[in-house]
């Protein structure tokens, strides 16, 4: 053998080093969960998989050789409902050379099963207008199932919360009526009896001590009647039967009278069609917001605005107080906002907090109009408190 035909020492070393690198790569890939791959989108629209790891069959139900030979079969695996998002994500990544992160469902015919997969890959521009992605696909079916179970659990909790609120309001209404009808009627009868007794005393003679006692009882009955009336209104304002706008207007006047804080109410329509549950929930949210303002805000002005929009009912309660501090947001006992948010969720709506111009806070609630109760409960699982960048919770 001539000297020219012998392998160059440097070439042998490079071959050994390359083999070591390849061995390390294979070891890493073999221990990587999922499918490590290269995918190329050619300028003429063709696709190919230059590299597929041994995880191909376990993930996709196709061997690497089958997918090499017919790369279009991967798109066929994707469920028809998810193909558009897959292709859109691919085109966006190719156009901007951004990372491609997509998740969707595939049908694995080998096991007659649907899998959720996630692909994450990095694009590289090639000569001639092609793009190659290097990345990994993983099976995320288990985590997706957990997400689905959490979503169902939220829906059930939302339904339970809505039911509990409904039952509570029904019980409040029943107690308010019992107090008004039974106690109110009895107190009225007592007042009439005391008045008759006082008149009889005037007829039979001068009994100043008895007269003083009857006057005391009469005044006590009056105070009790006022208390019964106040308690009944707190349990269930009768004005809610006349509509949410009338009830809120009354509540605003009561708030101003009790706190001395200037409060205005505006409604773009006096008659807003809402079912009893919706009207009651919005009224309770307004009550809680006003209570928070009275306790914490240090405000001198408050505005309550009710509006019927094209697709939504909007309720906004704003103040010019000190605003919400970040430290208050994480308080474990801060149930005011949580209760308001739960009521909004039960309506399939959103509750958002924002800073008012010039200081203070605005609580904004939006609920959809003309939505069936069942749909509202189903939507409650995905409803959130909007405005996550608020600074705190009262």
With a pLDDT cut of 70, the percent of the chain lying above it is 81
Q: What are the backbone angles phi and psi of residue 368, rounded to the nearest 5°?
A: -75, 145
Question: For residue 276, what pLDDT is reported?
Answer: 76
Q: Is residue 146 part of a domain?
A: no
Residues 262 and 361 reside in one and the same domain: yes
In contact, 369 and 311? CB cutoff 8 Å: yes
- The band of 124, judged by pLDDT with boundaries at 50, 70 and 90, is very high
Q: Is residue 310 part of a domain?
A: yes
Domain boundary among 139, 164, 185: 139
- pLDDT per residue over 272-306, tens digit each? 777 777 888 888 888 888 888 888 878 888 888 98
Pairing between β-strand 385-386 and β-strand 350-355 as defined by DSSP bridges: parallel
pLDDT at 372 over 70: no
pLDDT at 380 over 50: no
Rounded (10°) CA dihedral 241, 162, 341, 145 = -160
Q: Is residue 379 part of a domain?
A: yes
Residues 219 and 293 reside in one and the same domain: no
Taking CA atoms, 45 is separated from 38, 40, 41, 89, 367, in Å, by 16, 10, 6, 15, 46
Q: Is residue 170 part of a domain?
A: no
Q: Is residue 329 part of a domain?
A: yes
CATH of the domain at 315: 3.30.565.10
* Spatial separation of the C-alpha atoms in residues 213 and 371, rounded to whole Å: 58
Number of domains in the chain: 3
Question: Which stretches within 300-392 are classed as H helix?
Answer: 326-329, 335-346, 373-380
Q: Is residue 167 part of a domain?
A: no
CA-based R_g, the chain, Å: 36
* Spatial separation of the C-alpha atoms in residues 364 and 358, rounded to whole Å: 17
Residues 353 and 304 reside in one and the same domain: yes
Q: Is residue 162 part of a domain?
A: no
CATH of the domain at 51: 3.30.450.20
Residues 186 and 304 reside in one and the same domain: no
Domain boundary among 121, 139, 157: 139
Residues 86 and 219 reside in one and the same domain: no
Domain that holds residue 101: 16-139
pLDDT at 222 over 60: yes
Q: Which long-range contacts (CB under 8 A, 24 or more apart) does 251-259 make?
A: 251/283, 251/286, 251/287, 251/290, 252/290, 252/302, 252/304, 255/290, 255/294, 255/302, 258/294, 259/294
pLDDT at 78 over 90: yes
Residues 36 and 86 reside in one and the same domain: yes
Q: Is residue 51 part of a domain?
A: yes
How far is the first Cα of the chain from the last one, in angstroms, to the nearest whole number? 90
Residues 300 and 369 reside in one and the same domain: yes
Domain boundary among 235, 258, 286: 235
Would the pTM count as exceeding 0.85? no
pLDDT at 361 over 70: yes
Residues 182 and 308 reside in one and the same domain: no
* Spatial separation of the C-alpha atoms in residues 289 and 283, rounded to whole Å: 10
* Stretch 375-392: mean pLDDT: 42
């Amino acid at each position: 053998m001539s000297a020219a035909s012998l392998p160059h020492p440097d070439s042998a070393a490079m071959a050994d080093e390359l083999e070591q690198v390849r061995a390390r790569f294979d070891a890493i890939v073999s221990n990587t969960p999922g499918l490590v791959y290269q995918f190329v989108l050619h300028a003429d629209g063709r696709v190919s998989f230059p590299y597929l790891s041994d995880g191909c069959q376990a993930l996709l139900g196709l061997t690497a050789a089958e997918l090499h030979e017919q790369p279009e079969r991967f798109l066929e695996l994707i469920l028809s409902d998810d193909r558009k998002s897959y292709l859109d994500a691919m085109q966006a990544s190719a156009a901007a050379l951004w990372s491609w992160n997509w998740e969707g469902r595939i049908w694995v015919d080998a096991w007659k099963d649907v899998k959720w997969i996630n692909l994450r890959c990095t694009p590289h521009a090639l000569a001639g207008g092609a793009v190659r992605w290097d990345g990994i696909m993983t099976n995320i079916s288990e985590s997706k199932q957990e997400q689905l179970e959490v979503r169902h659990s939220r829906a059930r909790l939302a339904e339970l919360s809505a039911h509990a609120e409904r039952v509570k309001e029904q019980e409040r209404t029943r107690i308010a009526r019992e107090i008004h009808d039974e106690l109110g009627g009895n107190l009225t009868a007592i007042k009439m009896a005391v008045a008759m007794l006082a008149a009889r005393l005037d007829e039979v003679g001068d009994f100043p001590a008895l007269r003083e006692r009857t006057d005391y009882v009469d005044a006590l009955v009056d105070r009790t009647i006022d208390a019964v009336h106040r308690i009944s209104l707190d349990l269930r304002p009768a004005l809610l039967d006349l509509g949410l706008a009338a009830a809120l207007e009354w509540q605003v006047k009561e708030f101003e009278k009790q706190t001395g804080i200037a409060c205005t109410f505006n409604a773009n329509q006096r008659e807003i069609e809402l079912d009893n549950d919706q009207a009651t929930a919005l009224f309770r949210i307004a009550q809680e917001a006003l209570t928070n303002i009275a306790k914490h805000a240090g405000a001198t002005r408050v505005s309550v605005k009710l509006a019927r929009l094209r697709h939504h009912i909007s309720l906004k309660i704003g103040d010019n107080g000190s605003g919400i501090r970040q430290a208050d947001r994480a308080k474990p006992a801060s149930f005011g906002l949580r209760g308001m948010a739960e009521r909004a969720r039960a309506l399939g709506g959103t509750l958002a907090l924002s800073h008012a111009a010039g200081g203070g806070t605005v609580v904004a609630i939006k609920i959809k109009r003309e939505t069936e109760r069942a749909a509202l409960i189903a939507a409650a699982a995905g409803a959130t408190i909007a405005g996550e960048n608020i600074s705190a919770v009262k």
